[in-house]
Each structure stands twice: as structure tokens, then as C-alpha cells.
Structure 1
Amino acid sequence: MEITEILGYVGAVAIGVVLGLIGGGGSILTVPVLVYLLYIEPVTATAYSLFVVGLTSLVGTLRNLGKKLVDVKTALVFAAPALVAVYATRRYLIPAIPDHLFRIGDFMLTKDIGIMVFFALIMLLASISMIRGKCVNCNDDAAEVEYNYPLIILEGTGVGLLTGLVGAGGGFLIIPALVLLAKLPMKRAVATSLLIIAIKSMIGFIGDVENIDIDWGFLLVFSLLSITGIFLGTWLNKFIAGDKLKKYFGWFVLLMGIYVLFKELG
């Protein structure tokens, strides 16, 4: 077994830890791990990411339901439009994108590079909102939840589209929406985001099953390692304040976005 393959499976555990700790960011690790360490081409990697992140998030959700941290009503309002968007994107939009998009001089922008660059740009925008934005009710676990339904539905649709395009669970976009639009305390937003991610990631993966040959043996092993990691992540979550958690999350996303850009365009 090569060192990159070993690091890839270590990365699977890290994906679960990140999901359990911050309620998102698993896909930010999953796609680079699959592409750069395990040498899976990006379109297939984004499909695998949906399954791994979706299944791992479901396990985390079941743990958080027992702790009464999941706001099911908010999750359903957000997830409903996201489900439609993510399935349609994976089933129809991704297969319709040409393999070669355009050429600039000697540089050819391919479908694979385009997906990774778009993924990185979304991460950079999300990181800025998390680092600079005010964290309402971050540490007030008993705060009253307020709903801005039109914006929550709009955000859900947008996240569903992005999830379909780049295979991201969308936690790095969902959490800001839950904190800013539904006024959820940070730790409840983390727990609720896992339910949303689980639902729409698995629906998006269903759209891929009809288009991609799946290596189920590899995918299940990778997912089981990630599930192991989420137990550690949810335990660590108890010891970090919500406002610090938000900013740590933002810096993590920023660094990963910069890395992906340099890797693809450097």
C-alpha cells in the first residue's frame, strides 16, 4: 500500500472528525482526499463524496437527536428545495457539461478542473462570511429560533445546486444560513446541518447511480472509517465555544480553498 493511499484512509477518519466537530466541511476534505491522494477523477470523486458525507452525517444526526440538538422543523424547511435542486443537478446538469470548456492560450479548462476551481471559489466566499460575520446566539443554547422562510428556501435551493455541482454537503454554506437566517445557536446549527446534509447528499447520490459505475467495496470501507471519525468529532464538540468554533471553521475553509486553487491552476 502506497503512502498516499494510507494518507487517503487517514483522511477518511479526519472527514468524520470534521463533520462531528463543526457540522460541515467533510466534503471540503473528501473531494481533495479522493482526487489528490486516492487518484479518483473529480466527477466520480464528487459522487463518492455525496455518499460518504451523507452516510456519515446520518450517523452524526442520530447521535444529536438523542441530545435534542437537532431542529427538525428548520432542517425540513431548508432541505425541501435543496433536494429538488441537488437531484436535478446530478441527474441532468453534470452529464450535460462538456469535457472541454474553453482554451486560453496553452491552457485548456476541462470539466474536471472547472469543477475543482468552482469548488475552491465557493469555499473562499463561505470562509469570509464565517470569519467576518457576526455570530448571533453562538453560545446561547436556549435562544429562541426565528424564521425567515423566503431566505431559508432561497438558500436551500442555492446550496442544493452547489451540492450537485461540486459534491459538497454544503455545511460551510448551511451553517451560516442557519445562524444568520434562523438565528440558531451555533451548536444547534452544527447538529441541524448534519441532518440537512444527510438528506440531500444521499438524494444527490441517487442521481449519480444512474450515470457512474460505483466501486461499492471501496466506498463502504472509506465510509466506515469516516463514521468512526464522527464519534470523535461529536465528543470534541462539547469542549469548544460556539463563537470560536465558527471562526476556526472559517479559517479552515479559507486554507483549503487556497490549496485547491493552487493545486489546479498553479
Structure 2
Amino acid sequence: MEYIGYFASIIIGLSLGLIGGGGSILTIPILVYLFKVEPELATSYSLFIVGTTALYGGYSHYKLGNLQLKTALYFAVPSVISILIIREVIFPQIANTLFTIASYAVSKDLLIMIVFAILMISASISMIKKNKTTETIYKVNYTQLAIVGFLVGIVTGFLGAGGGFLIIPALLFFANLPMKHAVGTSLLIIFINSAIGFVGDLYLNTPIDYGFLLLISAIAFAGMFIGILLSKKIDGNKLKPIFGWFVLVMGIYIITKEIFF
């Protein structure tokens, strides 16, 4: 299963490079089911893997002129605040076993995977739907953008997800960015959110296997490099529905496995 995990890790970077999101959607299931990492620890690992990969991607898009720094900061700063609240204050207070129904115990790990699966299904629907985007630039609604950034930070904090599948629509709708600019800006936001979340976990003395993390990050990095090269020739909008169906199937699989098996 580990060899399959290494191959799947390429897709993490490939997704980030092509459509500016989806990396964390794949990272958590890969870590939990293929590398047998505990879900709570997998959220920390995901922040590192997706964050370091997104850093390279964001820099590459910056050189291509696809990164809107002001927009990224208005989104990222509120996100950082909510991430710190969730991971440093709320998350450590959640008991490992939340409650018991008959003889069935509902654990924190189960909650993480079920919520993540529901989020995957929700995100997949938005990817599958054909949304027409416009290249016309209107005035950016920074207030609404900051509010959405705070909400995305809650998702990042709880699930260890970079939130690209939420950030991209927010940048298209509230910041009115062209798709390629939304992708580049999303990667910078993902890096900032992930870096803050991971550093916070280090403060809580979370056990980290750096050798494993660096290896998976390097593989995802290679996928990101390929994805950025392909993004110059392939329209990310055309790939979204395909990726969306894949994410939908994975989300249904996780719910089925966690509840019934």
C-alpha cells in the first residue's frame, strides 16, 4: 500500500499545480488509508505537505504574473486568526471519545474523517458543476473576502486542509479574479494557512516524522512542477469536473468505510 501511496502523492502536487486546490482533499485519505497515519496526526502532516508544495507553486505563479498579493493578504490574515483559535484552543480540548451510541463509540478521529468526507462531497459537486467565469475585473469586496477567509481558516484548522477547493470559488466570486490569477493567489493563501497551522502544532509538541514528511513533500513537489508545466497548456476548468468525480467517489468511500467497516 505504501508504494501506491507514493504514486498517489504525485497527484497531490499535480492537483495544486493545475487547479490551485484539491491537494489536501487527497492528502488526508492517502496518509490515513495508505500510510496508516492516525487521522489527528494526518491533519498536521497534511498542513506541512500541502503548505510546502503550495509555496513553490505560489512562487512559480508569481513569476508568471498570476498572484494578487493584496487580495491574498486580505484573505489570509483572517484565516490565520481562525486557524490559531481552532488548532491551539479548541482542538486540544476535544476528547478522544466524544460519545457512545449503544456499544458504538464515536471518536475524534472518526469525526475528523466523516466531516472531511462530507466536505469532499460538497467540494466535488462544485467542481463537477459547469460554472461560467468571466475575465472582467470588478471592484473587490474586501470585507466579504475577509469574512470568507475567516471561515475557510476554520476548515483548515479543524481538518488540516489547505482549503483550495473553497478558496478558488471565493476568489472568483468575491475578488473577481480571472481563473489563472485565482489559482496563483490561492496557492499563496494555502501556504500561509498551512504554515501557521503546522507551526502551531509544533508548539503543542505534536510528534513529527520529518523523514517521512520530507519524502512525501518531495514527491508532491514533483507533481506540482508537472502540474504547473501542464497548466500553461491545459485549461484547469476542463479538468475540474474529472477531478470532482474522483473526489466524490473518495468521499463516499470514506463515509462507507468509517461507518460500516
Query: Same fold judged by TM-score > 0.5?
Result: yes
2:7 matched residue in structure 1 = 10
**2-structure distance, mates of 1:171, 1:204:** 15
Whether the 8 Å contact between 1:19 and 1:233 is mirrored in structure 2 is yes
**1-structure distance, mates of 2:42, 2:97:** 18
1:74 matched residue in structure 2 = 71
Give how far 1:25 is off. Answer: 0.7
SS of alignment partner, residue 146 of structure 1? coil
Alignment map for 1:1-266 (pairs within 5 Å)? 4-132=1-129, 134-137=131-134, 140=135, 143-211=136-204, 212-266=206-260
Give how far 1:187 is off. Answer: 1.9
Whether the 8 Å contact between 1:146 and 1:181 is mirrored in structure 2 is no
**1-structure distance, mates of 2:49, 2:236:** 26
SS of alignment partner, residue 239 of structure 1? coil
**1-structure distance, mates of 2:132, 2:145:** 17
Give how far 1:259 is off. Answer: 2.2
- Deviations, residues 185-227 of structure 1 (Å, cap 9, x unaligned): 2222111110000011000001111221111111111111111
CA 1:221–1:213: 2 relative to 1, 3 Å = same
Whether the 8 Å contact between 2:18 and 2:236 is mirrored in structure 1 is no
**1-structure distance, mates of 2:96, 2:252:** 24
Q: TM-score, normalised by structure 2?
A: 0.94
CA 1:73–1:135: 2 relative to 1, 3 Å = farther
88-97 or 110-119, larger mean C-alpha shift: 88-97
Aligned length: 259
Give how far 1:31 is off. Answer: 0.7
SS of alignment partner, residue 223 of structure 1? helix
Q: Determine what percentage of the aligned residue pairs are the same residue.
A: 50
Q: In angstroms, what is the RMSD of aligned CA positions?
A: 1.6
Whether the 8 Å contact between 2:28 and 2:43 is mirrored in structure 1 is yes
Q: Partner letter of residue 181 of structure 2?
A: R
Give how far 1:121 is off. Answer: 1.1
7-16 or 171-180, larger mean C-alpha shift: 7-16
Whether the 8 Å contact between 1:70 and 1:192 is mirrored in structure 2 is yes
Structure 2: stretches of 5+ with no match in the other structure:
none
SS of alignment partner, residue 183 of structure 1? coil
Give how far 1:249 is off. Answer: 4.2
Give how far 1:242 is off. Answer: 4.7
Q: TM-score, normalised by structure 1?
A: 0.92
**2-structure distance, mates of 1:14, 1:246:** 14
SS of alignment partner, residue 185 of structure 2? helix
CA 1:51–1:114: 2 relative to 1, 3 Å = same
Give how far 1:253 is off. Answer: 3.1
70-79 or 127-136, larger mean C-alpha shift: 127-136
**Which 4+ residue blocks in structure 1 deviate beyond 6 angstroms?**
none
SS of alignment partner, residue 207 of structure 2? coil
Q: Partner letter of residue 161 of structure 1?
A: I
Structure 1: stretches of 5+ with no match in the other structure:
none
117-126 or 188-197, larger mean C-alpha shift: 117-126
CA 1:51–1:157: 2 relative to 1, 3 Å = same
**1-structure distance, mates of 2:241, 2:180:** 13
